[in-house]
Structures are given as structure tokens and as C-alpha cells.
Amino acid sequence: MKYNIAIIPGDGIGPEVTAQAKKALDAIADTFDHHFTYTYAQMGACAIDATGNPLPEETIAVCEASDAILFGAIGDPKYDNDPNAKVRPEQGLLRLRKSLGLFCNVRPVKAYEQLIDRSPLKRERIEGTDISIYRELTGGIYFGEKHLSEDGQVASDGCSYSVAEISRIAHLAFKEALSRNKKLTLVDKANVLETSRLWRKTVTEIAKDYPEVALDFLFVDNAAMQMILNPKQFDVILTENLFGDIISDEASVIGGSIGLLASASVGTDNALFEPIHGSFPQATGKDIANPLASILSAAMLLRHLNLHKEAELVEKAVEKSLELNFTTEDINPESAFGTSKVGDFIADYILNPTDPNRNFQNIFVGQSTII
């Protein structure tokens, strides 16, 4: 099979971790006789520095022509620390989501056995946690009308949603629940917000098409508390843009490392896959960034292309790296393995899944079979 994949390395550690995800994809291509054609494009601070635009038109064209997009990270301190900056890296990502119609963000949250003791939450609370969070991505307050009074004393941000915007992601979330434990939780603030009342009314109506799925509701403040008290109660969470941004970041602490959290942003015709950890400028160029979230993003990309066996092999490689403690220092402070070595191990395991000890020895002495 032949696929066109757009790669946007982005800012900070983005290029480093994306390079490791590409190693995994190359190993999958060799193992399963696929052909991946990669086209690189710019977005974020690097694009501003090169073109003055956080999202050049060429990048949109590359993404539109691809079967899937692998993205690294976005952001730079020189923009983060300047409240007066008119052009910001994040504007590029927001515009790309809107341009490609990437209305649905999917974020898996899983408590890996090997990392449970690293979580700030107690083992008995999080063991067995496996959540899929569906966040609406192109509507709500992030894209509403913004206003600042002339005297700078009053500001407002508008929030609006339509039944159509709610319905299209709700159907995806219900279908995901059907393939899992058949439970969906809508997170809203329907006791206060009119948009939340529309969400609740619309989702309740759609639920009639999915009688096998149990639907319940939580106000966002209670949901934030329940995510800490008893995350195992959740299966699929569905919510709007702002609430999803907060809830999904809160959930990221469950697994013990933000370096293992991948995400997908999906539309009707396009899909983008990225780690959630951000650009982490403090680690840039030091070969210490954890590439596993980017590699798991590549696994989500493969699943999107209906390459399910291939995705499972990538996920098994990640689990093996955790099992053997072949990780970067954020997971194991005593680790001698850098970003590129972990990427090499993953690729070697994909090529030789029946001989993990050989993989370990090859990488340890710098003899990766990947060229």
C-alpha cells in the first residue's frame, strides 16, 4: 500500500521526537511492504522566523494533499513571554484545524502498569484506567468573536455552537463507545451555559440511535474532581472545546508521564496526529526528550489508515521499551538512553519483535539495524 504523509516537525523538541516516529513508520513499511512518501512542511515559530507567517499557504496545500499528517510541537518562549505579540505560533495550529476542518480531537488516556507508581495518584485509584476523550476542536469560545474595549478595561470572548457542530462529533464518540465498554459521559455546564444546554439536548437525542451505549452527564467542575477521585469510572468522554482542553490535560497526569500521551485531530477529509507534550524548549537539542508520545501518535495515524495490525505492533514496541526500562530520563532518571536511542529500539523491535533481547543489545552498543 502507498500513502502520502505530511510531516510538520514544528518547534522545540518537535523535530527530534517526530524523527523517531518516522523511524517507526519506516520500520512498519519494511515489515508490511508498505510505501510511505513523506513531505515536510513548516508551522509555528519556525515558520514565523522563515516566512513571517505561522502557517504558510504551502503547508496547507501539503496537508490537503496527504493521507495523514504527523505533527511535532508548537511554541517558543520568545512569543509566550510577549503579551503584545500580534503574530503567535499557536495561531498557525488553530488556523490549520479550521482550514482542514479538524473538528474532533481524540486523546487516549491509559495507565501503563510500568508507570503507575510514577503517577501522583494512588495505584488503587488509577490502575486499569483506559479513557478516550473526544473534544470538539473548531468551535466554542476559542473561535468566537473577541472584543477589547478602546480603553483596555473590558474584554469579552463569544462562545457559540450549532446542532450540526455538536452532532458530527457526538456520532463519532458514540461509535467509539460501541467499540469499547459502551459508556459515554457528556461533560458540560448545563446549569449555567446556554451552549451546554444545547449540547445536552442534542446528545440526548442522538443517544436514541445508540441504545447499547449508556449515556450519563457531569458538570465540568464535578468531572474535574471525578477525574482525580475515580478515573476508572470513565470510558468515553465527550465535551466542548474549552472544557476538553482542561479535562484532557488534567487526565494526562494519570499515566505518570505526559511523554506517553498521543492525540488525533480528525475531520471529514483530513487527520493530524501529535503528542500533547508541547515544544519543551528547555530540552531542545539535548537528546533527552521522550519520543514515545510521538511514536504512539504514529500508531494512531496507522490505525486511521486502517492499518490495525501495524498500529498494534508499534504499541507493543512501546510497551516493550517500558517493560525493559529502555526509556528516556523523564521516566527513568538513571537511564542512559537518549531520544534517538529509544527511537532506534522501537524501530528494531518492529523489525524483530520475537527477539527483544537482541534489540536491547543492538541499541545499547549503537548497532541499530535501521539505516
- Residue list, annotated binding site for Mg(2+): 221, 245, 249
Give yes or no for a contact between 167 and 202, defined as CB atoms under 8 angstroms apart: yes
Q: Residue 6, SS3?
A: strand
From the list 79, 112, 142, 161, the catalytic residue is 142
Positive/negative CA dihedral, 293, 299, 303, 309? negative
Beta strands in 52-179 (DSSP E): 68-73, 104-110, 130-136, 146-148, 155-157
Measured in degrees and rounded to the nearest 5, phi and psi for residue 74 equal -140, 145
- Rg (C-alpha) for the chain, rounded Å, is 21
Q: How many CA atoms lie within 13 A of 140 on its CB side?
A: 21
- Nine-digit cell at 134? 473526544
Among this protein's residues, is 142 annotated catalytic? yes
From the list 3, 189, 210, 341, the catalytic residue is 189
- How far apart CA 137 and CA 140 sit, in angstroms, is 8
Total length of the chain: 371
With vertex at residue 56, the alpha carbon angle to CA 49 and CA 77, rounded to the nearest 5 degrees, is 35
Among this protein's residues, is 26 annotated catalytic? no
Give yes or no for a contact between 32 and 310, defined as CB atoms under 8 angstroms apart: yes
From the list 209, 216, 249, 355, the catalytic residue is 249
Among this protein's residues, is 189 annotated catalytic? yes
- How far apart CA 259 and CA 291 sit, in angstroms, is 7
Among this protein's residues, is 330 annotated catalytic? no
- Listed residue (298, 179, 200, 296) closest to 243, CA to CA: 200
Q: How many CA atoms lie within 13 A of 272 on its CB side?
A: 28
From the list 49, 221, 286, 309, the catalytic residue is 221
**Binding site, annotated residues:** 97, 107, 135, 221, 245, 249
- Listed residue (269, 276, 272) closest to 251, CA to CA: 276
From the list 80, 245, 316, 320, the catalytic residue is 245
**Binding site, annotated residues for substrate:** 97, 107, 135, 221
Burial class (CB in 10 A: 0-12, 13-18, 19+), 209: exposed
Matching residue, cell 510500568: 114
Strand (E) or helix (H) holding 295? helix 292-304
- How far apart CA 231 and CA 219 sit, in angstroms, is 15
Residues noted as catalytic? 142, 189, 221, 245, 249
